[in-house]
Amino acid sequence: MSKKKIIFVIVFIVLIVGGFAGYQVYENHVKEEKIASEKTIINKRYKAFNKEKDRTKKLEDLKSIIKESNKYSKSKDSYSEVKKEYNSKIKQMRKYFIEGYDKSIADNTLIDVDNIGDKTQLNTAKDNLNAVLTSIKDEIETVSTKEEVAKYEEKINALTTSYSNKVTAIEEAERKAEEERKAKEEAKAKAEAEAKKSSSSNSSSNSSSSSRRRNNSSSSSSSSSSNRGNSSNSGLSSSYDEWFEVDGKKSYRKGNRYWDDAGNKWHFDENTHTIPIIIPRNYLNLYNFGFAQSRSLPKLSEGLMSLIQMDIMMRGNGRVEQYKGNIVGFSNRLNTILVPQSFMKWANENFAPNAEAQPARLIIEVSNPADSAIASYFQKKGYETEDGKLDAGKTTYFLRLIVGIVLGVGLFISILSFYILMLSIFLLLQKNTTKLESLLLIGYSPNKVALPYQLLTVGLNVIVLVLSIGLVSWLRSYYIDSIRILFPQLETGSLWAAISMGILLFIVVSVINILAVKKKVLSIWMHKS
C-alpha cells in the first residue's frame, strides 16, 4: 500500500472519530440546556409558591407541580436530573403543610389534661384537632402518604379521646353535684314541713300568728320576685326586644340604631336551649386578617359563622346548665356581645333571683362623636368610653389639615400645568408667526389659521382626560376589593362624580385654550393689517 493511501485512510478515520465526538459534544450541550431550562421553570414555580400567602392557592400550586412531575416522568425525553429537581422541590413544598399540621396539633395539645376543669377549653381543642385531621385526610397523596396520615390519625384520636373522657368526667361530677344539691334541698324541705306540722298542733293563737308570719313571708317573696328582672348577668350585654308587625310577620326594628344587622332570629326560647347572639364584626375581621392569615387557615364568612354553635355554661343559684349560642348577626357600633333582653330576664330570675344590679353600661347616640364638649362632659362625670371615637376630634382635625394640604398642592400643580400648556401653545404660535402671517396675507381667515392649533389643544386635553379616568379606575379597582373585605357593610359609590368633574374641567380648559389661540391669531392678523 502506498503512502498516499495510508494517509487517506488515517485522515478518513480521524474525520469519522472527530465527527462522532463532535456529535456527542453537541448532544451533551443540548441535553444540558434542556435540563437547565427545566430546572429554571421548576425554580420559578417554587419561588412563586413561597411568595404566595394564601394556603388554598399554595395547595393548588403543589397539586399542579405534582401533576407536571408525573407527566414529565412518563415522557420519553425525561432526564434524571430534572426528576430529582422535581422531587426536591415537591418535598420542600410539602414540608410547609406538614409543619402547619404539626404546629396546629402542638397548639391544641393540652398538658396535664387530668387537672383541666374547663369543658369549653377541652371541646375547643378537640374540635380544632378534628378539623386538622379532616384537612390531613382531604389532602392525602398530595401532602402526606397513607402511612403518614395513619400516624397523624392515631395521634389525634388519642388526644381527642383523652379530651372526651375528661369532658365526660366533668359532666359526671357536675351531675353528681346537682343530685347532691337536690337531695339537700329535698331534705331541708322535708325538715321544714315536719317542723310546720308539729307547730300546727299548738294553740289556735299560735297557729294564727304563724299564719300571719307566713303571709308576710309570701309578700316579701313576691316583692323580691318583682325586682329580679333588674339583675344583670355578667359577661353578656342585653339589647331590647323591639318588634313590629309587617304583613303579619315579626321583624326586628332597624330604626333602633344600636346595631346594623336585622335580627330575624332575635328571640329566646327556653325550650330550645339556644341563645341568639350578636357579636361585633371586628371580631370576625380580627380572626380573618390576623389569626387565620398568620397561620394559613381558611377565612370564615358571615354566613359560615351563623352555622357555628358555641357552648355556654350557666352557673348560679345552685344550678349548672349548658346552652348553645347561635350567632345571628354582626354589629358595627357596639364592641360587645349582645343577647336578647328576654334571655337576660329569664336568666336573672333562675340563676340570680336574690340579686339586684344597677346598670353598668350606657348607650348614647350623638350627632358628632368627635365633639370636644362630649369628652369634657364624660370626664367630669367620671365615665369611661369603650371605643376611641371621642379622641376622633384631633384625628379629624389633622385629617382635614392633610386633605387640605393635598388639595392645595394638587390645585397648585393643576394651575401650573394649565399655564405650561398655554405657554407651549404660545411658543408654538410665536415660532410659526411668519408662516401664520403669510397664510393671513394670502387670504386665509383667522379662524382657519387658528383651527389646527385649537384642535391640537383639544386633542391634548382629550388624551389627558382619558388617561386620568383610566388611571383613577385602575387604582380604584386595585384597592376597592381590599376595602370591601375589611368593611363589607361599606357602600361604595360610583365614578360618575369624578368623571363628571373631569368632563367639566375639560370643557372649561378647552374653551379657554380655544379663545386664547384665536385671540393670538387675531392679534397677529391685526398687526399685519
pLDDT band at 164 (very low <50, low <70, confident <90, very high): confident
Q: CA quadruple 18, 21, 23, 28: dihedral positive or negative?
A: negative
pLDDT of residue 17: 74
**349 or 358, which is more confident:** 349
Query: With 60 as the cut, is the pLDDT of residue 122 above it?
Result: yes
- The pLDDT tens digits of the residues spanning 368-393 come to 666 667 777 877 877 777 655 555 55
pLDDT band at 245 (very low <50, low <70, confident <90, very high): very low
pLDDT of residue 379: 76
Three-state DSSP class for residue 128: helix
Amino acid type, 528:
K
Q: Are 339 and 329 in contact (CB under 8 A)?
A: no
Cell of 359: 346598670
Q: Are 97 and 128 in contact (CB under 8 A)?
A: no
Query: With 50 as the cut, is the pLDDT of residue 250 above it?
Result: no
Using CA atoms, how far residue 333 sits from 258, 312, 363, 389, 474, in Å, is 7, 24, 10, 11, 32
pLDDT of residue 492: 65
d(CA 149, CA 473): 49
Query: With 80 as the cut, is the pLDDT of residue 36 above it?
Result: yes
d(CA 374, CA 369): 7
pLDDT of residue 256: 39
**Average pLDDT of the segment spanning 105-117:** 83
**Average pLDDT of the segment spanning 431-457:** 83
Using CA atoms, how far residue 118 sits from 165, 263, 310, in Å, is 13, 31, 14
pLDDT of residue 497: 82
Query: With 50 as the cut, is the pLDDT of residue 232 above it?
Result: no
- For the ranges 129-138, 235-244, 301-310, 317-326, the lowest mean pLDDT is seen at 235-244
d(CA 252, CA 338): 14
pLDDT band at 224 (very low <50, low <70, confident <90, very high): very low
Cα pseudo-dihedral 52, 56, 59, 61, rounded to 10: -50
Query: With 50 as the cut, is the pLDDT of residue 296 above it?
Result: yes
The crossing angle, in degrees rounded to 10, of helices 146-199 and 80-107 is 10
Distance of CA 397 to the CA centre of its chain: 29
**Average pLDDT of the segment spanning 94-100:** 87
**235 or 276, which is more confident:** 276
Q: Are 298 and 57 in contact (CB under 8 A)?
A: no
Q: Are 114 and 165 in contact (CB under 8 A)?
A: no
pLDDT of residue 386: 61
pLDDT of residue 175: 85
Do strands 309-316 and 249-252 pair parallel, antiparallel, or not at all (unpaired)? unpaired
Q: What percent of the chain has pLDDT over 70?
A: 77
**Average pLDDT of the segment spanning 255-283:** 66
Q: Where are the beta strands (DSSP E) in 212-349?
A: 237-238, 243-246, 249-252, 274-280, 309-316, 319-331, 338-339
d(CA 341, CA 232): 10
pLDDT of residue 49: 86
Query: With 80 as the cut, is the pLDDT of residue 345 above it?
Result: yes
Query: With 60 as the cut, is the pLDDT of residue 135 above it?
Result: yes
Kindly list the strands in the beta sheet with 237-238, ordered across the sheet, starting from the edge strand earlier in the chain.
Answer: 237-238, 338-339, 274-280, 319-331, 309-316
φ/ψ of 337, rounded to 5, equals -90, 130
DSSP track, 150-182: HHHHHHHHHHHHHHHHHHHHHHHHHHHHHHHHH
pLDDT of residue 23: 65
pLDDT band at 246 (very low <50, low <70, confident <90, very high): very low
pLDDT of residue 225: 32
pLDDT of residue 231: 34
pLDDT of residue 328: 82
**Average pLDDT of the segment spanning 432-456:** 83
Q: Are 385 and 378 in contact (CB under 8 A)?
A: yes
Mean confidence (pLDDT) of the chain: 75
Of 187, 177, 189, 186, nearest in space to 315 by CA? 177
Q: How many residues does the chain have?
A: 529
Greatest pairwise CA separation for the chain in angstroms: 162
pLDDT of residue 473: 85
d(CA 146, CA 143): 10
d(CA 227, CA 230): 6
Query: With 50 as the cut, is the pLDDT of residue 310 above it?
Result: yes
Cell of 413: 400643580
Terminal-residue alpha carbon distance, the chain: 109
In our burial notation (b when 16+ CB lie closer than 10 A, e otherwise), range 298-314 reads eeeeeeebeeeeeebeb
- The pLDDT tens digits of the residues spanning 477-518 come to 777 766 666 555 556 667 888 888 889 988 988 898 888 888
Query: With 80 as the cut, is the pLDDT of residue 469 above it?
Result: yes
> Taking the complete model, does pTM exceed 0.85, yes or no?
no
**Average pLDDT of the segment spanning 509-528:** 82
Query: With 60 as the cut, is the pLDDT of residue 202 above it?
Result: no
**23 or 1, which is more confident:** 23
Of 69, 19, 65, nearest in space to 46 by CA? 65
- The pLDDT tens digits of the residues spanning 397-412 come to 676 788 789 888 988 8
**Average pLDDT of the segment spanning 121-134:** 87
Query: With 50 as the cut, is the pLDDT of residue 444 above it?
Result: yes
d(CA 79, CA 66): 16
pLDDT of residue 301: 77
Query: With 50 as the cut, is the pLDDT of residue 159 above it?
Result: yes
Using CA atoms, how far residue 287 sits from 105, 133, 290, 302, 372, in Å, is 19, 21, 5, 12, 33
Query: With 80 as the cut, is the pLDDT of residue 243 above it?
Result: no
Cα pseudo-dihedral 23, 26, 30, 33, rounded to 10: 160
- The pLDDT tens digits of the residues spanning 64-96 come to 888 888 888 888 777 888 888 888 888 888 888
pLDDT of residue 114: 80
Using CA atoms, how far residue 497 sits from 375, 409, 504, in Å, is 36, 21, 11
pLDDT band at 149 (very low <50, low <70, confident <90, very high): confident
Q: Are 228 and 348 in contact (CB under 8 A)?
A: yes
Q: Side-chain half-sphere of 498: how many Cα atoms within 13 Å?
A: 12
